[in-house]
Amino acid sequence: MILLKSPLFNSIKVFMATPHTPMMQQYLRIKSEYPDMLLLYRMGDFYELFFDDAKRASQLLDLTLTHRGQSADKPIPMAGVPYHAVENYLARLIKKGESVAICEQIGDPATSKGPVERQVTRIITPGTVVDEALLDAKKDNLLLAVHQNKQKIGLAWVDLSGGRFHLLELTQSNQLCAELTRLQPAELLLQENSPLEEYCSSFPVKIRPGWEFQFDNAKKLLCEQFSVNDLSAFGEHDYPTALVAAGTLLSYLHTTQKQALPHLTTITLENSHDYLQLDAATQKHLELFENISGSQENSLISIIDKTACSMGSRLLKRWLGRPLKQHKPIQERQQAIEEIIKLQQAPILNHLLKQICDVERIVSRIALKSARPRDLFFLNNTLELLPELSIALGNNQSTLITQLKKYLSPLPELQELLSAAIIENPPMLIRDGGVIASGFDEELDELRMLSTRANEKLIHLEQQEKQHTGLSTLKFGFNNVQGYYIELSKTQAEKAPPHYHRKQTLKNVERYITPELKQFEEKVLSAQVKALAREKWLYEHLLLEIQKNINELCSLAQGLAQLDVLTTLAERAQSFNWSCPKLVPESQLSIKAGRHPVIEHLLQERFIANDLYLDPSQNILLITGPNMGGKSTYMRQTALIVLLAHLGSFVPATAATLGPIDRIFTRIGASDDLASGRSTFMVEMTETAQILRQATHQSLVLIDEIGRGTSTYDGMALAYASCTYLATTIKAYTLFSTHYFELTHLPQQWPCIRNVHLQASLDTGRIVFLYRVEPGYANRSYGLEVAELAGIPTEVLKIAHTHLKQMQTGLPVSQAQPKVQEHHTSPILQELAQLDPDRLTAREALDLIYRFKDMETIDI
């Protein structure tokens, strides 16, 4: 008995003794090994799915659901996809988070007794995809595992398509949220009954059995993978929890890939202290990778990612999500960018890099023996460009570029091998043949010559047969279904010789075969089969030969990606007129004429730049001003300038000086988190609590209008306490915006707090935003004027103005309620509504004004 328990099989009990066909028994046996995956079972020219797999696939892929045979007296549901189009369907399934097992026919139907032997040859899950058609070229595709012990949370993630393997250990669960937000794993492995499941629910989670999360098992797998006796070089003592997660990853990869992973040659041990920390809220509020609506439009990455190749685009996203903290590596990036600008190298480098293929992912497919002929062709083209790249970089002597030049060294032997082996513009698949170049292999050339001569022989046979029979419409032909044949028109078919055996009847012609032609066909097809088999063998050995250069190719990919990012940042600095920030050991944050990089890029008019200065003696700016006056923009641009500086990029300012900064915190905007049952105020307080507990004197903190979600006095008290705590206890660099004007007296009590405000003025009763940051505090919020701009009805605004005056004079609110007039329309307004001002002459307009003046006064 086979018990299938999965979401796809509804615990169906399948007895092998029940009357299933041998083919269906084979299917059920294979399916039992992959209960949680969709099984695509090859049958001729189709991949078929059965039972609940068929039902699910028909819904996901809009397939027609049919039936084949019966099980327990019920029809067996069936759906299928053509084998030649399977990649398109796989892409759709992977995007929906499904895992798929591909079952191929590996036996010979001609010699098989019973069902053709079949075997699962390929397993595809969202986190283990390597096929180009199934991947987003500009996004990492990560498989991540999480393990927790009493003290720490261990993370391990692998980019199978890029050959990168990383470890990280955390101490708090909110750090896990930040890392998952940064990494965005395509698939996440978690131990059954893990308390961390609630933090991982936003990602595709695969629950794994507890025995996979054992250190001894992990150590054995990792030592085998990296050919070492112990893991001391891989953080055995400092990263024990993460190593357990790494072992789980390897176990899962062995199950799904069913082969060695030669491109995973080392593990990168990440240390949070080496990077500027960005929690999940900060990544969201600063709109680094996507806007509030969830699209990339108008995000920071959308304006700085002008990379030439997909490897560079992926690396830039990694840099942006993991800004450096230590000044030395940042300054090395700055120096490289400065040199590229100074030597005017960006245009030629960009031109060359646009011709570069995705070496990183092609190398991974070579390692996994799934590279296609065009992968090798494009790789060869890239190798041919390396001497030109070296020449283009010639005079750039910056430290980082000098290191990259070593990665970009030509590989002449490999290039020569690829040039000799692969034809120009080869077919997509090796099974199509015609991939290996002539002259590369003598045996293949001889087999191909037989096919070439066969065509000449066929022409000769056709001429002979025409002369022998005297049939003018006679001609020889070939197709993949009928093979070789002799074709005669209907009018001459009755004259066909006796030794012509009818093969096919069509509307206007008859097709025949002769013993001689049959013998010829067998010779030709035998040569073609042998040639294709030889070509496949040569291709497999070519991949093995290229694998000997895996390390050099991985370094090449790394060097090309870094060069692309540095070139892009240089081009962006020039195009946007950004400047190189100065990094100093002293505690300060100084920005001269800073701008918001995204808003400036989108604006049609000139962006109003503003200065900022913070140091230990004055570390808090208390910001007041009207809504829409630019407070949030000013705060966000400060954070983005700091972030770009730690990226190694130039920044949107005429000058900037930064001391040591360890984290950026933001508490900007808020909305209900309905899924977690949290109100707007609860979200606001949770984010504020995280800041107050984790910020240090080297952190940059942005807090925008805290306390809005509760009563006025509660909110004011919380804002007061938070501001003073940041000023006196944490002493972080802080931008604190508020509409509580009572807080503007804080600088009198704590000199480290300084008032600034965003300017605005009234012009004929309407508010005008000036967007300039000036010393001192704003004298009003202009809330009612902003409400008028938003379209609040006039009657409501009148009530609001009356209430405001009463509250400002201290009278009870009940006395401030005006009588709402009954709605009526004045004669003047009625007449104006019927006029077309574009058709009035100046004289007619003047007459109207005098006439209205003489009319009885009407309150309009």
Residue 700 — left, alpha, or beta (φ > 0 → left; ψ -120 to 50 → alpha)? beta
Query: Would you state the torsion angle of the CA atoms of residues 372, 375, 376, 380, taken in this order, to the nearest 10 degrees?
Result: 170
Q: Please state, as a whole number, how many other Cβ atoms lie within 10 Å of the Cβ of residue 786.
A: 17
Contact 279, 690 (CB under 8 A): yes
User: Residues near 643 by Cβ (< 8 Å), separated by ≥ 6?
Assistant: 276, 278, 286, 288, 300, 320, 323, 664
To the question of whether residue 798 is assigned a binding role by annotation, the answer is no
To the question of whether residue 271 is assigned a binding role by annotation, the answer is no
Secondary structure E strands in 615-675:
620-624, 655-658, 663-667
Contact 92, 40 (CB under 8 A): no
To the question of whether residue 479 is assigned a binding role by annotation, the answer is no
Euclidean distance between CA atoms 527 and 749, whole angstroms = 95
- The torsion angles phi and psi of 139, rounded to 5 degrees, stand at -135, 135
CA 761 to mean position of chain CA atoms: 44
The DSSP result for 645-656, as a single string, is HHHT--BSSSEE
Secondary structure E strands in 256-312:
268-269, 277-278
Four-residue CA torsion sign, 576, 582, 588, 593: negative
To the question of whether residue 592 is assigned a binding role by annotation, the answer is no
Query: Would you state the torsion angle of the CA atoms of residues 695, 696, 700, 702, taken in this order, to the nearest 10 degrees?
Result: 40
SS3 530: helix
The amino acid present at 761, given as its one-letter code, is S
User: Among all chains, which residue has been given the structure tokens 């004259």?
Assistant: 495
To the question of whether residue 630 is assigned a binding role by annotation, the answer is yes
Which of 179, 104, 96, 95 has the alpha carbon at shortest distance from 145? 179
Q: Which long-range contacts (CB under 8 A, 24 or more apart) does 51-54 make?
A: 51/8, 51/9, 51/12, 51/76, 51/77, 52/8, 52/9, 52/10, 52/12, 52/77, 53/8, 54/78, 54/79
Euclidean distance between CA atoms 404 and 412, whole angstroms = 18
The amino acid present at 211, given as its one-letter code, is W
To the question of whether residue 44 is assigned a binding role by annotation, the answer is no
Give the chain's radius of gyration (CA, Å).
36
The neighbouring-strand residues paired with 763 are 766
The DSSP result for 150-186, as a single string, is SS-EEEEEEETTTTEEEEEEESSHHHHHHHHHHH--S
> Between helices 515-547 and 412-421, what is the axis angle to 10°?
170
To the question of whether residue 619 is assigned a binding role by annotation, the answer is no
> Would you state the structure tokens that stand for residue 295, as one six-digit string?
């699209």
Beta-sheet strand order (sheet of 610-614): 582-583, 655-658, 589-594, 610-614
Euclidean distance between CA atoms 314 and 296, whole angstroms = 14
Contact 77, 94 (CB under 8 A): no
Which residue ranges make up the annotated binding site? 625-632
Which residue ranges make up the annotated binding site for ATP? 625-632
